[in-house]
Structure 1
Amino acid sequence: MKNFLIHLLNYELWANQRIINALEALDNPPARAVAVMGHILSAQHVWLGRVLNETTFVSIWEDTPVAWMSETAERQHRKIVSYLNSLSETELTQSIDYATSQQEPYQSTLIDILTHMSHHAAYHRGQVVQLIRPLVSEPPVTDFIVWTREN
Structure 2
Amino acid sequence: MKDYLIHLLDYELWANVRVIDALESVSNPPARAIAVMGHVLSAQHVWYGRLARESVFVSIWEDIPVSWMTETAERQHRQLVSYVASLAEQDLHQPLPYTSSKGDPHQSSMLDMLTHMSHHAAYHRGQVVQLVRPMLQEAPVTDYIVWKRGR
How far has the Cα of 1:71 moved from its partner?
Answer: 0.5
Deviates more, 1:33-42 or 1:88-97: 88-97
Q: Which amino acid in 2 is paired with 1:104?
A: D
Partner of 1:138: 138
Could you tell me which runs of 5 or more consecutive residues in structure 1 were left unpaired when the two chains were aligned: none
Partner of 1:82: 82
Deviation per CA, 1:108-141, whole angstroms, max 9, x where unpaired? 0111001100000000000001000100000000
Q: What TM-score do you get using the length of structure 2 for normalisation?
A: 0.98
Dislocated runs of 4+, deviation >4 Å? none
Partner of 1:127: 127
Instruction: Measure, in 2, the Cα distance between the counterparts of 1:106 and 1:48.
Output: 15
Instruction: Measure, in 2, the Cα distance between the counterparts of 1:16 and 1:102.
Output: 26
Could you tell me which runs of 5 or more consecutive residues in structure 2 were left unpaired when the two chains were aligned: none
How far has the Cα of 1:26 moved from its partner?
Answer: 1.1
Partner of 1:73: 73
Structure 1 SS opposite 2:98: strand
How far has the Cα of 1:33 moved from its partner?
Answer: 0.4
How far has the Cα of 1:97 moved from its partner?
Answer: 1.0
Partner of 1:4: 4
How far has the Cα of 1:102 moved from its partner?
Answer: 2.0
How far has the Cα of 1:23 moved from its partner?
Answer: 0.5
Query: What's the Cα RMSD here?
Result: 0.6
Partner of 2:33: 33
Partner of 2:100: 100
Deviation per CA, 1:45-98, whole angstroms, max 9, x where unpaired? 100011111111111111110011000000000001001111111111111111
Percentage of pairs with the same residue: 67
The total of aligned residue pairs comes to: 151
